[in-house]
């Protein structure tokens, strides 16, 4: 079977990152000095937009805008779009439409969210969130088919940081709890959040650090594949997560008594279980999560939720060794899976279900529908649901580059995450502030129990 790979992943061998390039200008055929600059400045948080402007071009001059970065592993990501200057020889990406390339239309941040790996199926993950930014090199070339090995007409560098000045990063190794705590500047109190990712394992820090930069005291929590934690999640006990909740809510700068939780993929069903069974988790954001406990067993006191199984025969093998696993996970409502379903109706907290309609990791739209039906059947209305067409599994903070496919730790091969680049990226821009508003609504106005 052939599955549609991303055409954008091909043909990026042209990308040349100039390690010494900064803001600058050059002369082109007309003898004018071109310049590219960013507003409000060259440094920002990675979830903030910048305005890209170019001046000093010829009237109606065709140009190619290119962006590129190298991650901490040396993997290179690049994007390109074709533009035409206005009658004054200027470009403003807030107003000027792209005529082709990685995206079309007026997309002010298109060069950033369309950054695509030169090596297929690489996933951009920022590990050192405290010490270095993502440095995105932006270059302007003459024409729509010019040789990128030529000297650019103009170039600059955008430093995209993950920690606001004053945010403190604190490694956590207390009791059984392992993770990293991010504390906003100031005296607080701040809403407390536990942040978890999925089968990637370890501790993923980039979303937690951004949440702290937005005023949430956030614990990026590891639960397997990190330090002395279990090597897998085949048997997890919810008391570990409860210990993390208590550690967080007893922090002197956390506004209690309740805290929130955000998780994606496997982390998405874990935050649903936490809100269901742990009284002090009062708000949960489940991104691409399941309404059942997935894969391994989850234990809490005298309760065990079995792990929802998979049927490997339903995997679809595509070109380039890609695997489509969207139909592999079993249906929670099948009779044999009733012991896997999370009893969400027991929760007193609030849920935000986030659904990418083109999620290829598993059937997120079905899982969210079943979760909402169960809550309604039990007279509960403590939920919100956000559904994004043509969006995939990996919904990240705003402006984070789109990832269509990457290596899956459990599968052992690259898998398709789903989504189309432009609508998925627009969904991320819409989702990120909505997540923050949901968490603030339920955490900032709580009263003491």
Catalytic residue among 137, 393, 408, 424: 393
Catalytic residue among 359, 391, 408, 424: 359
Catalytic residue among 114, 213, 265, 286: 265
Angle of helix 266-277 versus helix 238-249 axis, rounded to 10? 70
Is there a catalytic annotation at residue 359?
yes
Is there a catalytic annotation at residue 393?
yes
User: What phi and psi, each to the nearest 5 degrees, are found at residue 309?
Assistant: -85, 180
Query: CA–CA separation, 398 vs 190, rounded Å?
Result: 22
CA contacts within 13 A on the Cβ side of 405? 26
CA contacts within 13 A on the Cβ side of 97? 4
Catalytic residues: 265, 359, 393
């Amino acid at each position: 079977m052939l599955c549609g790979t991303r055409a954008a992943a091909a043909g990026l061998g042209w990308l040349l990152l100039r390690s010494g390039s900064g803001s600058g200008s050059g002369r082109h055929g007309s003898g004018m000095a071109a310049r590219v600059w960013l507003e409000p400045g060259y440094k920002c948080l990675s979830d903030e937009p910048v305005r890209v402007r170019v001046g000093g071009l010829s009237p109606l001059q065709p140009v190619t805008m290119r962006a590129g970065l190298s991650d901490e592993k040396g993997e290179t990501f690049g994007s390109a779009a074709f533009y035409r200057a206005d009658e004054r020889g200027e470009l403003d990406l807030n107003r000027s439409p792209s005529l082709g390339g990685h995206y079309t239309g007026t997309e002010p941040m298109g060069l950033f969210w369309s950054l695509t790996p030169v090596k297929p199926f690489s996933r951009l993950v920022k590990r050192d969130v405290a010490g270095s930014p993502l440095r995105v090199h932006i270059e302007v070339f003459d024409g729509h088919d010019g040789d990128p090995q030529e000297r650019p007409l103009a170039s600059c560098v955008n430093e995209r940081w993950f920690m606001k000045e004053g945010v403190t990063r604190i490694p956590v190794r207390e009791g059984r709890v392992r993770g990293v705590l991010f504390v906003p500047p100031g005296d607080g109190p701040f809403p407390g959040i536990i942040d978890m990712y999925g089968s990637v394992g370890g501790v993923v820090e980039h979303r937690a650090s951004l949440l702290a930069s937005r005023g949430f005291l956030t614990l990026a929590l590891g639960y397997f594949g990190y330090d002395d934690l279990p090597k897998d999640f085949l048997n997890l006990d919810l008391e570990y997560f409860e210990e993390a909740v208590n550690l967080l809510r007893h922090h002197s700068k956390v506004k209690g008594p309740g805290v929130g939780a955000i998780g994606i993929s496997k982390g998405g069903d874990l935050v649903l279980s936490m809100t269901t069974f742990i009284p002090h988790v009062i708000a949960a954001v489940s991104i691409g999560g399941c309404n059942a406990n997935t894969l391994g067993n989850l234990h809490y006191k005298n309760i065990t939720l079995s792990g929802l199984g998979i049927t490997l025969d339903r995997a679809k093998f595509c070109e380039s060794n890609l695997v489509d696993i969207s139909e592999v996970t079993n249906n929670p409502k099948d009779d044999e899976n009733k012991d896997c379903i999370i009893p969400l109706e027991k929760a007193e907290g609030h849920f935000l279900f986030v659904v990418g309609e083109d999620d290829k990791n598993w059937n997120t739209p079905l899982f969210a529908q079943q979760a909402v039906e169960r809550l309604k059947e039990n007279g509960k209305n403590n939920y919100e649901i956000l559904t994004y067409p043509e969006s995939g599994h990996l919904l990240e903070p705003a402006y984070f580059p789109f990832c269509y496919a990457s290596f899956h730790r459990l599968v052992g091969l690259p898998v398709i995450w789903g989504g189309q680049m432009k609508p998925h990226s627009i969904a991320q821009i819409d989702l990120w502030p909505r997540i923050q508003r949901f968490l603030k609504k339920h955490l900032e106005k709580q009263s003491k129990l």
